Structure 1
């Protein structure tokens, strides 16, 4: 179980996109990378192909280190802890003590 999951709302705490918020699109747990909607945009030159016949220049999100994001719960960025409730391991917001999922 990881502290940040797909579809979580996160806030960027470091880098060029600091203080931006977005939804987690993808997590690479093996390399500790995360892709966030609308954050860390890169310009990619795409060759024409069967799927994309036009080709051209495309803006897309690039992955960055998972340590640069914090989970947002009720509008505030918070650290994440774990507790066992009813025999289940659940994520808990450190700032409020509320169970996240």
Structure 2
């Protein structure tokens, strides 16, 4: 019988990061991460993967209609844009001077906020 792990997956992308889509229909588009869905390894990026949602009129929202909403995209299709250099970079994790684990850019070696 396998043992289940309760560890949270360590993703290189967080809410508020500026990312570029590197694969899929929206390849090349850039935006900021609005939400990260850890359970599914997906993220919602502003202005990327727009889908059409049809909303039914109800007592709370009598207008109903068609709305354009951002759908989630898999984390593997996103790459972080380094805040310092503005280039795409991979993300690593290492200890800072205080002994706290922080993210850093593998391209420049600098810590990311």
Q: Same fold (TM over 0.5)?
A: yes
The structure whose Rg is larger is 2
Where does the alignment leave 5 or more consecutive residues of structure 2 unmatched? 1-9
Q: Any idea what SS the aligned residue of 2:111 has?
A: coil
Aligned partner of 1:82 among 93, 97, 110: 93
Gaps of 5+ in 1: none
C-alpha displacement at 1:33, in angstroms?
0.8
1:96 matched to 2:108: yes
Cα deviation digits, residues 8-51 of structure 1 (max 9, x gap): 10010000110110010111111101100000000111111344
Residue 45, structure 1, aligned to residue 57, structure 2: no
Inter-partner Cα distance in structure 2 for 1:64 and 1:51: 30
Larger strand percent? 1
Query: Deviating runs (4+, > 2 A) in structure 1?
Result: 49-53
Matches within 5 A, 1:1-101: 1-73=10-82, 74-85=85-96, 86-101=98-113
> RMSD value over aligned CA atoms?
1.2
